[in-house]
């Protein structure tokens, strides 16, 4: 079949919820993707911050194939050999005490919301609690996750959402204080906002929110679905602030392409959930926990964090050079391999032109080019990306 035939058949049967690029990807190798025509693309998107190890890592592929040969799924009525290993590694990486495996980041958010509400219910017997979320945040597209997503555009067609959610300004403590009351049970935020434009939390803001939560027995939920798993230079971004949340959500690179997420919590919080409170058919099955188990092993063996901290400053330097060169680029911000170039023009055409030149990028909002490459990229890969992007940007002067 030709590429257009694949596209036409998919569009005939799929619900049209994505404006897909007119490319049919067939395979990957390292930091490159190949379409059905054999064209090669440099990938600085990694499946939206998912494929941290790059494509076709032999050790990872072998671990998945071995698990398929043994057992893919049973249910959560049983244990599997890798379940405890995977749970231990998530708990140690997050600094939490217990973990629940989900199928996605969105489901991790749903679980975190339920856990926070159950904790508050056991504390005071009430069910009219409120959660403070941040404006311009993004936490997922299910009804619960949408309810804490601070973008009315995503919400308006799906009202009413779950109640008891109010929104404060990110990096503005007074805005948070204005929303806190006796009903507040949790504050949820991305440690680095992704879809909202690649905005890291300021150290002062996160420290002050942590202190506020401690003072009032409010749970701090850090959404690290995109910024976690090494992307910002530590396994989880909040480590760079010298503090811990009460609940953390994680996904994306947790399974490096295998659909898995998780929410983890401190012991005093985690014990609020008891049998019957929460569940999942597929979550934490033998196949996905084998993936999680191997991902953590490979992060250590490949020294992924060291690579991020070595190459990320070089990426920042090169992006800063583009900012200095082009007047329409007004800011470069981010941490590690989660970077954004903010422009005063829409970036959609730039991304399309980059794709025509075999470079895959994505946006964060209408005016930010987002860079979330595999965590194994080299300085040579950065140079290749910059060369292509620079040539594209010259057309917008």
pLDDT of amino acid 351: 98
- DSSP structural state of residue 202: P
pLDDT for 1 equals 79
Domain 3-57+303-396 bears CATH identifier 3.90.1150.10: yes
Query: What is the pLDDT at residue 211?
Result: 98
pLDDT band at 322 (very low <50, low <70, confident <90, very high): very high
What architecture is the 59-301 domain classified under in CATH?
3-Layer(aba) Sandwich (3.40)
Which residue, chain included where needed, has tokens 């991304």? 351
Structure tokens belonging to residue 372: 């979330």
Asked if the bond preceding 137 is cis, omega within 30° of 0, the reply is no
Nearest CA among 308, 315, 304 for reference residue 384: 315
- 53 neighbors 47 (Cβ within 8 angstroms): no
Cα–Cα distance list, 215 to 41, 218, 330 (Å): 51, 8, 39
Which residue ranges does the chain devote to CATH 3.40.640.10? 59-301
Q: Is the pLDDT of residue 308 over 90?
A: yes
Alpha-carbon gap, residue 360 to 135, rounded angstroms: 28
- Sign, CA torsion 335/198/378/315: negative
pLDDT at 366: 95
pLDDT at 227: 98
Residues of each domain in the chain carrying CATH 3.90.1150.10: 3-57+303-396
> Using alpha carbons only, what angle is made at residue 105 by residues 53 and 77, rounded to the nearest 5 degrees?
100
The fraction of the chain above a pLDDT of 90, given in percent, is 99
Give percent of the chain with pLDDT exceeding 70.
Answer: 100
305 burial via Cβ count (<10 Å: 0-12, 13-18, 19+): middle
d(CA 348, CA 353): 9
Q: Each residue of 337-378: pLDDT tens digit?
A: 999 999 999 999 999 999 999 999 999 999 999 999 999 999
290 within 8 A of 298, measured Cβ to Cβ: no
Cα–Cα nearest to 282, from 103, 72, 106, 110: 103
Average pLDDT of the residues in 262-270: 98
Angle at 337 between CA 353 and CA 373, to 5 degrees: 45
Q: Report pLDDT digits (tens) over 219-242.
A: 999 999 999 999 999 999 999 999
- Average the pLDDT over 13-31 and give the result: 96
> What pLDDT is stored for residue 129 in this prediction?
97
The rounded distance, in Å, linking the Cα atoms of 100 and 94 is: 13
395: its two tokens: 């057309």
pLDDT digit string (tens) for 61-107?
A: 999 999 999 999 999 999 999 999 999 999 999 999 999 999 999 99
For every residue of 148-198, which 3-state class applies, written as one string?
Answer: CCECHHHHHHHCCCCCCEEEECCCCHHHHHHHCCCCEEEEEEECEECCCCC
Cβ-based neighbours of 245, under 8 Å, separated by 6 or more: 210, 219, 220, 221, 222, 238
Q: What is the mean pLDDT of residues 128-141?
A: 97
Mean pLDDT of all residues in 282-300: 98
The pTM assigned to this predicted structure is 0.96
C-alpha span between 148 and 110 (Å, rounded)? 10
Residue showing tokens 């964060």:
364
The C-alpha atoms of residue 91 and residue 97 are separated, in whole angstroms, by 6
Average pLDDT over residues 155-177: 96
**Is the dihedral angle over the CA atoms 312, 314, 320, 322 positive or is it negative?**
negative
3-state secondary structure of 376: coil
Contacts by 145-152, CB closer than 8 A, 24 or more apart: 145/106, 145/109, 145/110, 147/113, 148/109, 148/113, 148/188, 150/196, 151/195, 151/196
Please provide residue 155's backbone torsions phi and psi, each rounded to the nearest 5 degrees.
Answer: -95, -30
pLDDT band at 31 (very low <50, low <70, confident <90, very high): very high
């Amino acid at each position: 079949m030709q590429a257009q035939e694949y596209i036409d058949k998919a569009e005939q049967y799929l619900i049209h919820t994505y404006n897909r690029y007119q490319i049919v990807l067939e395979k990957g190798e390292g930091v490159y993707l190949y379409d059905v025509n054999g064209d090669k693309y440099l990938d600085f998107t990694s499946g939206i911050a998912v494929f941290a190890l790059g494509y076709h890592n032999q050790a990872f592929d072998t671990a998945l194939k071995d698990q398929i040969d043994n057992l893919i799924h049973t249910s959560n009525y049983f244990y599997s050999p890798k379940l405890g290993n995977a749970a231990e590694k998530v708990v140690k990486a997050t600094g939490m005490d217990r973990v629940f495996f989900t199928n996605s980041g969105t489901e991790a958010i749903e679980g975190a919301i339920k856990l926070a509400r159950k904790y508050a219910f056991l504390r005071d017997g009430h069910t009219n609690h409120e959660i403070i979320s941040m404006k311009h945040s993004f936490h997922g597209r299910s009804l619960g996750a949408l309810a804490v997503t601070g973008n009315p555009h995503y919400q308006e067609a799906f009202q009413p959402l779950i109640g008891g959610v109010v929104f404060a300004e990110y990096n503005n403590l007074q805005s948070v204080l204005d929303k806190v009351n006796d009903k507040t049970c949790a504050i949820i935020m991305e440690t680095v906002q992704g879809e909202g434009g690649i905005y890291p939390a300021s150290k002062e803001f996160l420290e002050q929110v942590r202190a506020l939560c401690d003072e009032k027995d409010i749970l701090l939920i850090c959404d690290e679905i995109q910024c976690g798993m090494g992307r910002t230079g530590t396994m989880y971004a909040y480590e760079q602030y010298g503090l811990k949340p009460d609940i953390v959500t994680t996904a994306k690179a947790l399974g490096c392409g295998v659909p898995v997420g998780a929410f983890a919590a401190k012991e005093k919080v985690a014990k609020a959930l008891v049998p019957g409170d929460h569940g999942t058919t597929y979550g934490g099955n033998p196949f996905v926990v084998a993936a999680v188990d191997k991902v953590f092993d490979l992060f250590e063996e490949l020294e992924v964090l060291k690579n991020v901290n070595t190459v990320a400053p070089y990426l920042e330097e090169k992006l800063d050079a583009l900012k200095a060169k082009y007047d329409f680029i007004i800011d470069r911000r981010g941490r590690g391999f989660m970077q954004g170039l903010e422009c005063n023009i829409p970036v959609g055409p730039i991304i399309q032109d980059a794709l025509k030149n075999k470079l895959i990028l994505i946006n964060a909002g209408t005016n930010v080019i987002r860079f979330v490459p595999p965590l194994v990229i080299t300085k040579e890969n950065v140079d290749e990306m910059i060369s292509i992007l620079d040539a594209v940007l010259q057309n917008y002067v």
